[in-house]
């Protein structure tokens, strides 16, 4: 996963006016938000640049070893019948995702269980694992047996998403905003990439009306949308799996990206 050198320089310049916050400071703050509400937004790269200029006084940017842009690679697991994907597609109130997230800047990897509850809140449980860990190893197996409601043995890797993330932390409220750029979805067969689209997500425990970013996005005419990177990636890579629920977002993604790129 790479951003062009021009893209790196451009984004670094746009982030320069923000005061930094270290990862340790974030972990010790109320902005870690493993139990939270979420709102997602899709925007063009140009809209993202405009948004950043309006947020410098209200947020700090997370730095990891002085780097304000962090590479992520997330491997999603599902069953042969796409159990967790179809939970989302069919509108199940309580639904799960199982994934291993690799933080490329630090080299850390975490096995994560993400649950969306019928209250609208999202919870995340996770443990640190080796980069090449499998679900059947003792530590992951014990974690999944106690925290995951399904038989982990039926789950296997089905999709990888890669992106570069910028994280802003509110100066006043328990709120964190992530922006994912240079997004790609791939399997062993195909890859779909969207370098001109940015996925923003406000993670918060305060009313959204208190969010400066929420107010600016509203002013810019960018409305929140139900967007799942996992479900989008499955819809793109597995044509045989039903995806009627996500067609609107797929069309929006194509519109914002001016077509995107695919290699199969």
Residue 48 pLDDT: 97
As a whole number, mean pLDDT of residues 96-119 equals 93
Give the length of the chain. Answer: 264
Tell me the pTM.
0.87
Inter-CA distances, 111 with 15, 98, 168, 176, Å: 30, 8, 24, 21
For the domain made up of 5-263, the CATH class stated in words is mainly beta
Residue 2 pLDDT: 46
Residue 65 pLDDT: 84
- Calpha distance 106→112 (Å, rounded): 17
* Residue pointed to by tokens 């014990």: 142
Residue 6 pLDDT: 46
**To 10 degrees, the CA torsion angle through 8, 212, 106, 1?**
-40
pLDDT of 106 strictly over 60 = yes
Residue 31 pLDDT: 47
Q: For the beta carbon of residue 75, count every other beta carbon within 10 angstroms.
A: 16
pLDDT band for 35, please (50, 70, 90 cuts): low
Indicate the helix (H) or strand (E) that contains 38. strand 35-44
pLDDT of 208 strictly over 80 = no
**Residue 86 near residue 78, CB atoms below 8 Å:** no
pLDDT of 3 strictly over 70 = no
pLDDT of 206 strictly over 80 = no
For 88-108, give the DSSP string.
HHTT-SSEEEEEEEEETTT--
Distance, first Cα to last Cα, the chain: 17
Which tens digits make up the pLDDT trace of 213-260?
999 999 999 998 889 999 999 999 999 999 999 999 899 999 998 766
Residue 236 Cα to chain centre, angstroms: 17
H-type helices in the chain, by residue range?
A: 5-15, 23-27, 45-55, 83-89, 138-147, 212-219, 229-237, 247-257
Task: Please name which of 165, 112, 104, 168 lies closest in space to residue 135, comparing C-alpha atoms.
Answer: 112
As a whole number, mean pLDDT of residues 64-68 equals 88
pLDDT, greater one: 38 or 12: 12
């Amino acid at each position: 996963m790479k951003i062009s050198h021009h893209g790196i320089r451009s984004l670094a310049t746009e982030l320069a006016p923000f005061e930094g916050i270290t990862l340790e400071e974030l972990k010790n703050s109320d902005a870690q938000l493993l139990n939270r509400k979420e709102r997602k937004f899709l925007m063009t790269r140009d809209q993202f640049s405009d948004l950043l200029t309006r947020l410098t006084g209200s947020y700090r940017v997370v730095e990891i070893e002085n780097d304000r842009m962090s590479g992520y690679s997330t491997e999603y697991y599902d069953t042969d019948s796409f159990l967790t994907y179809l939970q989302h597609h069919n509108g199940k109130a309580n639904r799960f995702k199982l994934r291993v997230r690799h933080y490329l800047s630090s080299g850390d990897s975490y096995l994560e269980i993400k649950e969306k509850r019928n209250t609208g809140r999202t919870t995340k449980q996770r443990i640190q694992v080796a980069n090449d860990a499998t679900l059947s190893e003792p530590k992951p197996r014990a974690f999944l047996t106690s925290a995951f409601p399904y038989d982990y043995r039926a789950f296997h890797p089905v999709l990888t998403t890669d992106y570069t993330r910028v994280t802003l932390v509110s100066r006043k409220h328990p709120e964190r905003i992530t922006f994912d750029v240079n997004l790609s979805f791939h399997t062993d067969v195909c890859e779909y990439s969207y370098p001109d689209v940015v996925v923003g997500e406000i993670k918060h425990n305060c009313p959204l009306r208190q969010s400066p970013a929420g107010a600016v996005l509203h002013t810019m005419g960018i409305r929140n949308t139900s967007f799942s990177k996992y479900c989008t990636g499955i819809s793109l890579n597995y044509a045989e799996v039903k995806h009627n629920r996500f067609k609107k977002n797929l069309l929006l993604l194509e519109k914002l990206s001016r077509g995107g790129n695919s290699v199969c």
